[in-house]
Amino acid sequence: MICDPIGTVPELEARVGKPFVTDEEKAMAAAALEDAAAMARTYGNPYWGCYSMQTFAETEPVVVNGMAVRTTGMNVPDGVKAVVLAMAARALRNPDGFVSETAGEYTYRYSENTANGLSPSPGEITMLEKLAQKDKIRTVTFERAVQIVRRRENPYDDNGDVIWDESSG
């Protein structure tokens, strides 16, 4: 399966607010985008922007990297692109996941969300699941005390009175 990138390096440059000049910076940006897209597909839909390499009988095939492929029909929603770019920008701004830095009397504190790096926040996970139209399935554990009493017949008469009790056998 071939997957298109979700977001581009120029789009990421716009989010970060600075151009990536060196080849190392561009490579880090591309890797961050790939990793963020993989995480978005994990929490959302694994087929967003992907193609299947199978034979098909369509008149005009989609050509990707010189190969004819069949699209899975899974377009990437705009919200997914926003989440992927935000995750990648967060990872590039704070690659080591620091929460605060101190140098002498100077202290700089990052937002707690900035320390996540590529890990999506709970809000981003909710958004990805909503965009993937996933229904949450939950397991609810419950317990009910059940008392098993040995009875041979209905212990009540027509009026609801007890006609025998446990001592009668």
Neighbours of 116 (CB within 10 A): 17
In angstroms, the CA 134 to CA 25 distance is 35
Residue spans per domain, the chain: 2-131
Q: What is the pLDDT along the chain (169 residues), one digit of tens a residue?
A: 678 889 899 999 999 888 999 999 999 999 999 999 999 999 988 888 887 655 445 555 566 555 555 555 568 888 999 999 999 998 888 776 667 778 888 887 766 666 667 788 888 999 999 888 876 666 777 777 776 665 556 666 667 666 666 665 5
Task: Using alpha carbons, list the distances in angstroms from residue 33 to 42, 81, 117.
Answer: 14, 10, 12
The confidence score (pLDDT) of residue 55 equals: 47
CB 81 within 8 A of CB 169: no
Give CB contacts under 8 A, 24+ apart, made by 7-10.
7/33, 7/36, 7/37, 7/81, 7/84, 7/85, 7/88, 8/33, 9/33
- Regarding pTM above 0.95, the answer is no
